[in-house]
């Protein structure tokens, strides 16, 4: 243990701790911008500077280790002036459009301006002038709002290991951009939106589909159908200051009805449907010598990554469309027929925790006769904005239930939204299909949690099925290289591009609280544990869908409507 004083308070800190960590351990807040927990500090932004006795210059506390007897001041006049000046300089090189900015009231630069009492423009001068990158259907990049903290670059390079963006130039010309400044859509970007979640300002944000949705809701000729992803119900409440992990399913349904949607369905129905199709596909591949290991295909960030980087391995991807796309296809076929609706008049909106889902919905492979399965995708954040405009007081909303038949779901579907959930759900059904017996304990805890790669082996009818779960796209390359070398022992592999899965998707509420991912995941496991039916094959409405319409999983109609192809 090392003893030091911070602001005249005696502090005991572990060797190797930074001044920032030691201060935090005794409740002293030091502001940060470039700092990222668990990543090597760069000390680039200098907002965390402190005064250390005996040192001439101010010291970046995020990058400096504690030493025995050290005396630190985190709030001296010199420190306050330095921090305020940094904030003032950042503000002067930033568009002055807070009132109309998408991150108004959720911006770290705005918070710092308030905290350091910036009340005048002292350094008016030349400003950066950059075009907004709107090349991608999922995201926008606005370099004029970038404060060069580098968190997006580090997230993309060190966590996601994609390397789609980086710093260019020096000094006033410094910029974060794509290779040759060509735009996100032609970089290696997979549109996961993880960089949006760490951006302190609105330099990175989603591409909004709100206008299209509002137009459809106002169009009397349109029959508007909305579906809600598994992970959204465990996170949206955070935007209304509810505790992280509050399940707000019932309120979301009521809110969507009040927005004017004709039907409110559950993507969890589509998730159960995906499991029946995917488990059947796996069993068929295992039985007839098909290509294995088979990968899950519900994460469009992972699909984009595989298409761009491993086109020679695309046969390993399940051909199943993702749950919301399956649900869209069923709405425009089975449901339209049942209700006597013209599919062309139906407008399907997916509420997703994900930015890549916008790109996915626009893929030509995911439409029938040029009619997309899903017409628009809104992120969790965009839905909150629509609720606000409509004067919907979310916290006071009563609970409501999904419409049927595409509103029924099982516990297996609920856990899709967290890393390992798709695998757990698939194994519950694959076990039944292969052995004819129900799995006694459905809680497959080995595939839960947030390790980068989780492994599990299950004995089904005397055969061992080896599975792996890849949590975050940054952990997938090793698994793919094993396959390239012909050394993979796995039969089935789940990949989710976002660390933690969809609960931490790029479209989710933005706040830098590390404990949020665990709490959100817990909420989904609680939903599962409380359900009467916890296996996808127990979904009664789904049984009816197969009896009345589809025939059997992986049958002819399923292949036409629910399966897809990939582009290399």
Q: Restricting to residues 485-544, name those near ligand HC1 by CB under 6 A.
A: 501-502, 505
Minimum CB distance to ligand HC1 smaller for 61 or for 471: 471
- Position among 151, 324, 516, 534 found at the interface with ligand HC1 (CB under 6 A): 324
Rounded to a whole number of angstroms, the minimum distance from the CB of residue 356 to ligand SF4 is 8
| Residue 192 interacting entry, from ligand HC1, ligand SF4, none, C-beta within 5 to 8 Å by type | ligand SF4
Nearest to 413 by CA among 553, 518, 534, 250: 534
Mark whether 278 is an active-site residue.
yes
Per rule CB under 6 A, is residue 563 in the interface with ligand HC1?
Answer: no
Which residues inside 21-40 make contact with ligand HC1, applying CB under 6 A? none
36 lies in the site for ligand SF4, by CB under 6 A: no
Tell whether residue 160 is a contact of ligand SF4 (CB under 6 A). Answer: yes
Confirm whether 281 is a catalytic residue.
yes
First vs last C-alpha separation in the chain: 56
Look at the block and give the residue holding tokens 């399913």.
249
Q: Can residue 156 be called a binding residue for ligand SF4 (CB under 6 A)?
A: yes
454 belongs to the catalytic site: no
Answer yes or no: are the C-beta atoms of 407 and 416 closer than 8 Å: no
Of 298, 299, 354, 498, the catalytic one is 298
Residue with tokens 């194994």: 427
Residue-by-residue DSSP string for 385-428: HHHHHTT--GGGPPP----SSTT---HHHHGGGSTTHHHHHHHH
Q: Residue written as tokens 């994460």?
A: 299
Examine residue 405 and tell whether it contacts ligand HC1 (CB under 6 A): no
Among 137, 230, 472, 474, binds ligand HC1 (CB under 6 A): 230
298 is catalytic: yes
Concatenate the DSSP letters of all residues of 321-378 into one string: PPHHHHHHHHIIIIIHHHHT--GGGEEEEEEES-SHHHHHHT-GGGEETTEES-SEEE
> How do strand 139-141 and strand 175-177 relate by DSSP bridges?
unpaired
Would you count residue 264 as binding ligand HC1 (CB under 6 A)?
no
Which lies closer to ligand SF4 via its Cβ, residue 164 or residue 346? 164
Helix (H, G, I), strand (E, B) or coil at 308: helix
164 binds, among ligand HC1, ligand SF4, none (CB under 5 to 8 A by kind): ligand SF4
The tokens for 149 are 């903290």
Whole-angstrom CA distances from 112 to 20, 90, 106, 205 are: 17, 10, 11, 20
Q: Which of 196, 203, 352, 545 binds ligand HC1 (CB under 6 A)?
A: 352
Q: How far, in Å, CA of 542 to CA of 272, rounded?
A: 8
H or E segment to which residue 89 belongs: helix 77-92
For position 193 contacting ligand SF4 by CB under 6 A, the verdict is: yes
Q: Is 374 in the site for ligand HC1 (CB under 6 A)?
A: no
Among ligand SF4, ligand HC1, none, what does residue 322 contact (CB within 5–8 Å per kind)? ligand HC1
Binding part of the chain for ligand SF4, among 158-166, 206-214, 254-262, 411-419 by CB under 6 A, reads: 158-166
β 175-177/492-496 pair status: unpaired
What the block records as the tokens of 318 is: 């399940």
Identified binder of ligand SF4 from the candidate list 101, 148, 191, 413, rule CB under 6 A: 191
Among 322, 333, 471, 564, binds ligand HC1 (CB under 6 A): 322
What does DSSP say about strands 59-60 and 49-52: parallel, antiparallel, or unpaired? antiparallel
Q: Which of 58, 109, 164, 336 binds ligand SF4 (CB under 6 A)?
A: 164
State the number of binding residues for ligand SF4 (CB under 6 A): 13
Does residue number 200 form part of the binding site for ligand SF4 (CB under 6 A)? Answer: no
Residue 231 makes contact with ligand HC1 by CB under 6 A: yes
C-alpha closest to that of 184 among 232, 136, 147: 136
Q: Assess whether 189 carries a catalytic annotation.
A: no
Please identify, among the stretches 193-201, 312-320, 364-372, 411-419, the one whose residues bind ligand SF4 according to the rule CB under 6 A: 193-201
How many CB atoms are located within 10 Å of the residue 54 CB? 7
Closer Cβ to ligand HC1, 154 or 324, answer by number: 324
Of residues 297-356, those binding ligand SF4 (CB under 6 A): none
Q: Of ligand SF4, ligand HC1, none, which one sits near residue 416, judging by CB under 5 to 8 A according to partner kind? A: ligand HC1
Span near ligand SF4 by CB under 6 A; candidates 45-53, 160-168, 206-214, 434-442:
160-168
For helices 210-218 and 380-389, the axis angle rounded to 10 degrees is: 50
What mask, x for binding ligand SF4 by CB under 6 A, covers residues 73 to 112? ----------------------------------------
Residue 303 has phi, psi (to 5 degrees) of -60, -45
Which element (helix H / strand E) includes 166? Answer: strand 166-168
Token output for 371 = 């009619």
Active site residue 318: yes
Closest among 235, 524, 249 to 353, alpha carbons compared:
235
CB of 109 to ligand HC1, least distance (A): 29
Q: Within 10 A of 220 (CB to CB), how many other CB atoms are there?
A: 4
**Angle at CA 520, nearest 5°, toward 517 and 523?**
150
User: Which residues are at the interface with ligand HC1 (CB under 6 A)?
Assistant: 229-231, 267, 270-271, 298-299, 322-324, 352-354, 357, 416-417, 501-502, 505
User: Which residues are at the interface with ligand SF4 (CB under 6 A)?
Assistant: 155-156, 160, 162, 164-165, 189-195
Q: Which residues are catalytic?
A: 278, 281, 298, 318, 357, 360, 365, 502
């Amino acid at each position: 243990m090392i003893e030091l004083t911070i602001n005249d308070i005696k502090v005991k800190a572990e060797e190797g701790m930074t001044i920032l960590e030691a201060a935090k351990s005794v409740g002293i807040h030091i502001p940060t911008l470039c700092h990222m927990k668990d990543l090597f500090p760069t000390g680039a932004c200098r907002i965390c500077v402190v005064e250390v006795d005996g040192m001439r210059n101010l010291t970046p506390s995020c990058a400096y280790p504690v030493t025995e007897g050290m005396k630190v001041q985190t709030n001296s006049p010199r420190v306050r002036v330095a921090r305020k000046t940094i904030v003032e300089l950042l503000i002067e090189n930033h568009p002055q459009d807070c009132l109309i900015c998408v991150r108004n009231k959720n911006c770290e630069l705005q918070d710092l301006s308030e905290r350091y009492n910036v009340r005048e423009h002292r350094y008016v001068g030349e400003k950066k002038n950059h075009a907004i990158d709107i090349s991608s259907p999922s995201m926008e990049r606005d370099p004029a709002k970038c404060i060069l903290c580098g968190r997006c670059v580090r997230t993309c390079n060190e966590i996601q290991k994609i390397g789609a963006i980086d710093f260019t130039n020096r000094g006033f010309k410094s910029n974060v951009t794509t290779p040759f400044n060509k735009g996100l859509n032609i970089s290696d970007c997979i549109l996961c939106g993880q960089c949006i979640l760490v951006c302190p300002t609105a330099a990175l944000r989603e591409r909004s589909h709100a206008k299209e949705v509002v137009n459809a809701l106002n169009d009397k000729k349109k029959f508007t159908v909305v579906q809600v992803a598994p992970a959204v119900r465990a996170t949206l409440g955070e935007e209304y200051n509810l505790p992280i992990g509050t399940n707000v399913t019932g309120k979301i349904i009521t809110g969507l009805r009040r927005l004017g949607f004709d039907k409110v369905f559950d993507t969890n129905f589509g998730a159960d449907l995906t499991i029946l199709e995917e488990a059947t596909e796996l069993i068929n591949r295992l039985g007839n010598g098909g290509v294995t290991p088979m990968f899950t295909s519900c994460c469009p960030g992972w699909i984009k990554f595989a298409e761009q980087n491993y086109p020679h391995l695309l046969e390993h991807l399940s051909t199943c469309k993702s749950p919301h796309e399956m649900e869209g296809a069923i709405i425009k076929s089975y449901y339209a027929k049942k209700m006597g609706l013209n599919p062309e008049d139906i407008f399907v909106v997916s509420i997703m925790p994900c930015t890549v889902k916008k790109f996915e919905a626009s893929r030509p492979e995911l439409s029938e006769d040029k009619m997309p399965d899903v017409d628009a995708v809104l992120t969790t954040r965009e839905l909150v904005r629509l609720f606000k405009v409509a004067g919907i007081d979310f916290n006071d909303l009563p609970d409501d239930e999904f419409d049927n038949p595409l509103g029924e779901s099982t516990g297996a579907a609920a856990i899709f939204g967290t890393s390992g959930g798709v695998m757990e759900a698939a194994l519950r059904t694959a076990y039944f299909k292969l052995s004819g017996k129900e799995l006694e304990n459905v809680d497959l805890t080995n595939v839960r949690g947030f390790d980068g790669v989780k492994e599990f082996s299950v004995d089904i009818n005397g055969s061992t099925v080896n599975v792996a779960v890849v949590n975050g796209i940054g952990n997938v390359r090793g698994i793919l290289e094993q396959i390239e070398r012909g050394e993979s022992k796995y039969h089935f592999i789940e990949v989710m591009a976002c660390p933690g899965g969809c609960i931490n998707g790029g479209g989710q509420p933005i706040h830098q609280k590390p404990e949020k991912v665990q709490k959100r995941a817990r909420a989904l496991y609680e939903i599962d544990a409380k359900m009467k039916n916890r296996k996808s094959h127990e979904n009664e409405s789904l049984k009816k869908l197969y009896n009345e319409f589809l025939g059997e999983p992986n049958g002819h109609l399923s292949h036409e409507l629910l399966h897809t192809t990939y582009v290399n």
